[in-house]
């Protein structure tokens, strides 16, 4: 009985690990596609452009700050009516579902955050 249980656990682990890796890669692909389509026009393809000439450059922000700011824009629907950069960012992020948002966040953190090398 114990051997059967261990075999089942082993098989499940062999199946789940590649699937979770695939899901992460798929999220990264989605994140890159969305960034290129919706974000790069203001932030640049390399994250080194100040959106509207006033925002912080993504490449100068640590990953924790990127996460905090994007999460705020995504969750606070009141910012949509605030106008300015906050209103634009809130409208852009709120149009995403959770998987898309997580993909964009992951892509931006991995590729542009100032501390990406240390992560």
Domain boundaries, the chain: 2-118
Q: Tell me, what's the pLDDT at 78?
A: 84
Summarize the confidence of residues 1-14 as an average pLDDT: 47
Summarize pLDDT for 51-82 with one digit per residue, the tens: 999 999 999 999 999 999 999 999 988 887 88
What's the CA gap between 74 and 8, in Å, rounded? 40
pTM of the model: 0.72
In 3D, which of 79, 81, 75, 35 has the Cα closest to residue 58? 35
Q: Tokens for 70?
A: 């994007």
Answer CATH for 2-118 from 3.30.70, 4.10.860, 1.10.3470, 1.10.760? 1.10.760
- Given a cut of 90, whether residue 27 has pLDDT beyond it is no
Please state, in angstroms and rounded to a whole number, the distance separating the CA atoms of residues 7 and 74: 43
Q: Is pLDDT at 118 greater than 50 in this prediction?
A: yes
The secondary structure of the chain, three-state, reads CHHHHHHHHHHHHHHHHHHHHHHHHHHHHHHHHHHHHHHHHHHCCCCCCCHHHCCCCHHHCCHHHHHHHHHHHHHCHHHHHCCHHHHHHHHHHHCCCHHHHHHHHHHHHHHHCCCHHHC
Average pLDDT over residues 91-110: 95
Confidence at residue 31, expressed as pLDDT on a 0 to 100 scale: 96
């Amino acid at each position: 009985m114990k051997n059967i249980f261990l075999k089942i656990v082993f098989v499940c682990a062999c199946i789940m690990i590649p699937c979770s890796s695939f899901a992460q890669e798929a999220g990264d692909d989605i994140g890159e596609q969305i960034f290129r389509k919706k974000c790069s026009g203001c932030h640049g393809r390399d994250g080194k452009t100040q959106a509207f000439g006033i925002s912080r450059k993504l490449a100068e922000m640590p990953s924790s700050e990127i996460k905090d700011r994007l999460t705020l824009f995504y969750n606070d629907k009141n910012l949509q009516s605030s106008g300015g950069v906050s209103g634009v960012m809130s409208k852009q992020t709120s149009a995403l579902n959770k998987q898309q948002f997580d993909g964009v966040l992951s892509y931006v953190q991995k590729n542009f955050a100032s501390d990406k090398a240390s992560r």
